[in-house]
Amino acid sequence: MTGRAPRTEPPYLRIAAEIRARIAAGELRAGDRVPSTRQITREWGVAKATASKVLETLRREGVVRAVSRVGTVVSDRELSQDRIAAAAIAIADERGLAGLSMRGVAGALGSPTMSLYRHVRSKDELLDLMADAAIGEIDLPVPPPGSWRAALELAARLQWRVYRRHPWLPFALSLTHPQALPNMVRHGEWMLRAAEELGLDPETRAKVHFVIVNYVRGTATNLELETAMEQRTGLSGGQWMTAQLAASGDDLAEYPALSRAAGRSPEFRIDIDDFFEFGLQRVLDGVAALVLPK
């Protein structure tokens, strides 16, 4: 004799899922009242305590909210991965990754913390979504412009701009364990196609891609620390170096090369954007050397 396996799911979870399905189907829209405790008790034939647990579960998930003198209604701001990632990016832009938490994101969205986990399984998954959303801000032209150098130079500069907007981003990306996320894959494909013009073998092209991406990301790791140091010291990088050189005084006499590099200007100049551009050209010069006639 065969038969259906008995349900092991608690009744309150089954009822909550059915109400959630009504919302997803559009039978209940934002602001509509959901069944009350009394209605749940009558419709599903469960105890009042079970009905209360149904509504508490939906409230905790952010699916419904209590409205004074009205009852429990469908939340008018449905959560999604995009909304959660956007809120998390805003927090990380302001406070860095150290200031990011699931609770903080939930607070910014006006939702219970547990409601986030219906859309994002963990903080690690949230970081992946944030990183992919940030990379998605890069608008790559199709087809790539001009020569391989023009294309790879453009890609590197667009990456740099994104890192400038989101100084936490370098720490959310791994080059040795890259995340196969949609925007990252799209960006990598664009750069590798541009590199095909070099006429190098696939492995060498992959290394060229890695070196350029790693150069941009590596330089960008200084951005968050630069902001933190300026807040801590009240000095720009150049002012800080000038003060350090002045404090060193005669101690630099035994380091003539450093003294000459610092120069005699009233303020040692550190412009990370200038350093980035200088380094980018040297990296591309190195790539060009691979295809020069021997």
Q: How confident is residue 1, by pLDDT bands cut at 50, 70 and 90?
A: very low
Q: Where are the alpha helices (DSSP H) in the chain?
A: 11-24, 37-44, 48-61, 81-95, 102-109, 113-116, 123-135, 148-165, 182-195, 202-233, 237-248, 256-262, 272-289
Q: What integer is the mean pLDDT of 62-86?
A: 82
Is residue 6 over pLDDT 70? no
The pTM of this model reads 0.69
Contact status, residue 189 vs residue 202, Cβ threshold 8 Å: no
DSSP 94-124: HH-GGG--HHHHHHHHTS-HHHHTTT--SHH
Domain spans of the chain, in order of start:
11-74, 81-122, 148-289
pLDDT digits (tens, 9 = 90+) for 140-152: 988 888 899 999 9
Is domain 11-74 annotated with CATH 3.30.420.40?
no
CB proximity list for 214: less than 8 A, separation 6 or greater: 175
Is residue 19 over pLDDT 50? yes
- Return the pLDDT at 253: 64
- Return the pLDDT at 4: 43
Residue corresponding to tokens 């664009």: 190
> Tokens for 41?
């008790």
Percent of the chain with pLDDT over 90: 50
Question: Which range, 80-89, 119-128, 250-259, is most confident?
Answer: 119-128
Reference 71, options 59, 61, 82; nearest CA is 59
Is residue 28 over pLDDT 90? no
Q: What integer is the mean pLDDT of 209-233?
A: 85
Is residue 184 over pLDDT 80? yes
Is residue 3 over pLDDT 60? no
**Do the domains 148-289 and 81-122 match in fold?**
no
75 burial class (0-12, 13-18, 19+ CB within 10 angstroms)? buried
Class for the domain spanning 81-122: mainly alpha
pLDDT digits (tens, 9 = 90+) for 279-292: 999 999 999 999 87
CATH assignment of 148-289, among 3.90.330.10, 3.30.310.50, 1.10.357.10, 3.40.50.300: 1.10.357.10
What's the CA gap between 236 and 241, in Å, rounded? 9
Separation in Å, CA 282 to CA 18, 209, 278? 61, 15, 7
Q: Picking from 66-70, 101-105, 177-181, 241-245, which range would have the lowest pLDDT averaged per residue?
A: 241-245
